[in-house]
Structure 1
């Protein structure tokens, strides 16, 4: 991922699924699409570590579900419609469940994805249009093209970051 063209400033908003305390010294902005296998890798690989840091009040995660026009990611856009932003911890658990079943719904038609979300995952369609548009606008203003793109302080990275590198970033003074 070429990060040299990314301007992180427009992406550093609270638009998204906010997990953790506002008083956390580190803000982590995560642009993801739940159909993306690399986003799944990032989310699952660092879920426990980030949950620990959130619970300790060290990190606040702002997960920005990024609707993409790429055909293979369109099913993710449909799943994003079912995330409850009003109840962030429920939204986080729903994302976890969505990633866990990604192989089951990922190749379905868009109507099939919607049906899977409602019948199998027991998720309701939400009115997330405004937040989806805000995230798209932020990504465009920041020149973020790929998912996952993660921003922490002055660091911009993707799922290929090592655990040691991530810990160094999270523990910077």
Structure 2
């Protein structure tokens, strides 16, 4: 199962961390896991570009922190529960990505949580219900991989170029 099997009709544009105006005409839905190096690449390469569209009121980003059972991504699940669902979310996510190599080498989940609170000054959030909703949504829509990004009928990953992304957003 890959990107082509994603059922965009099952995607919820409201559950997740919203960046930008609810009235923006285009929703950019991003399923990510904060331990995933490809999600970090998506963020590194596309955040500045997307922020311009957010500031212009053209898009709203809906970031869905996707708790995955895959052992290599399980550490990201711990970090997800420390991301605030407010205006500080994007800077928290950026800090988590910037330090991914440091906390990603920690073995104990308590050490990862301590890293989030002590080093990144993040506090534990009530994320359980949101996490379950995102997992259920991903399952219903056949979202398997991270990152999976959805804009209308378009489904893609971090490999999309800025030019291709711009073409989708401008049409």
Q: TM-score, normalized by length of structure 2?
A: 0.97
Gaps of 5+ in 2: none
Q: What root-mean-square deviation, in Å, do the aligned CA atoms of Structure 1 and Structure 2 show? A: 1.0
Q: Distance in 2 between matches of 1:2 and 1:163?
A: 22
Q: Unaligned 5+ residue runs, structure 1? A: none
1:139 — aligned with what?
Answer: 138
Q: CA deviation at 1:5?
A: 1.3
* Counterparts of residues 24-173 of structure 1 (less than 5 Å): 24-85=24-85, 87=86, 89-108=87-106, 109-172=108-171
How far apart, in 1, do the equivalents of 2:118 and 2:65 lie? 22
Distance 2:30 2:9 in 1: 13
TM-superposed deviation, 1:33? 0.2
Give the conservation status (yes or no) of the 8 Å contact 2:25–2:58: yes
Q: Is the 8 A contact 1:74 1:110 kept in 2?
A: no
TM-score, length basis structure 1: 0.96
| Count of aligned pairs | 170
Q: Which piece of structure 1 moves more, 5-14 or 160-169?
A: 5-14
| Residues 35, 73 of structure 2: 8 Å contact kept | yes
1:107 to partner: Cα distance: 1.7
Equivalence for 2:18 = 18
